[in-house]
């Protein structure tokens, strides 16, 4: 995936695809920043992590732009998200996430909402980069609330 990512930057330059080039360069810059600041190796995991952060930033921006009635900026951010999603691993379905959460509940056997951290610790390695962590967190909270 990392090789495809780097090749796509070159391809976007050759084709003068400014939007794609800008988006991919932002991700590359974020990866280099992580490498420098946190001494992380540039690999597929870092690429996935940086892309997920970029998508989250754009989703936050979309909600703000929607409040300000800036449809042009909402559309632009949606286009950027579509480009970014091409480089993420195949996303898990809602049912697959539920299965992983159920398995974590069997392992942790939570008794209250205070066990949220234990469940997240069990679930995160299995879904990181493959699912929206906010969605996963919400599903876990809902399941924990049924225990009460």
Q: What residue ranges do the domains of the chain occupy?
A: 2-85, 94-145
Per the structure block, which two tokens stand in for 126? Answer: 């299995």
Comparing 23 with 128, the larger pLDDT belongs to 23
pLDDT band for position 2 (50/70/90)?
A: confident
Q: Is the pLDDT of residue 45 over 70?
A: yes
Question: Looking up tokens 């950027």, which residue turns up?
Answer: 80
Q: Above 70 in pLDDT, residue 125? A: yes
**Pick from 146, 81, 89, 77: nearest CA to 113:** 146
The topology under which CATH files domain 94-145 is Arc Repressor Mutant, subunit A (1.10.10)
Between residues 91 and 57, the one the model is more confident about: 57
Q: Which CATH architecture has domain 2-85?
A: Orthogonal Bundle (1.10)
For 32, the token pair is: 């280099």
pTM for this predicted structure: 0.74
Looking at residue 5, what DSSP letter applies? H
**What is the residue-averaged pLDDT of the chain?**
90
Q: What is the pLDDT of residue 128?
A: 82
According to the model, what pLDDT value does residue 60 have? Answer: 92
In DSSP terms, 131 is beta-bridged to: 128
Instruction: Please state, for a pLDDT cut of 90, what percent of the chain lies above it.
Output: 56
The arithmetic mean of pLDDT across residues 127-136, rounded, is 85
């Amino acid at each position: 995936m990392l090789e495809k990512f780097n090749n796509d930057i070159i391809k976007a330059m050759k084709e003068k695809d400014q939007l794609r080039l800008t988006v991919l360069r932002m991700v590359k810059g974020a990866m280099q920043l992580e490498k420098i600041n946190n001494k992380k190796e540039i690999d597929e995991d870092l690429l996935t992590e940086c892309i997920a952060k970029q998508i989250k930033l754009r989703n936050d921006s979309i909600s703000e732009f929607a409040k300000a009635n800036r449809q042009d900026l909402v559309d632009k951010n949606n286009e950027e998200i579509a480009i970014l999603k091409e480089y993420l691993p195949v996303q898990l379905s809602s049912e697959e996430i539920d299965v992983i959460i159920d398995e974590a509940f069997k392992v942790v056997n939570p008794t209250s909402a205070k066990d949220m951290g234990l469940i997240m610790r069990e679930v995160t390695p299995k879904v990181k980069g493959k699912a929206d962590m906010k969605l996963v967190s919400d599903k876990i909270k809902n399941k924990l609330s049924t225990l009460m």
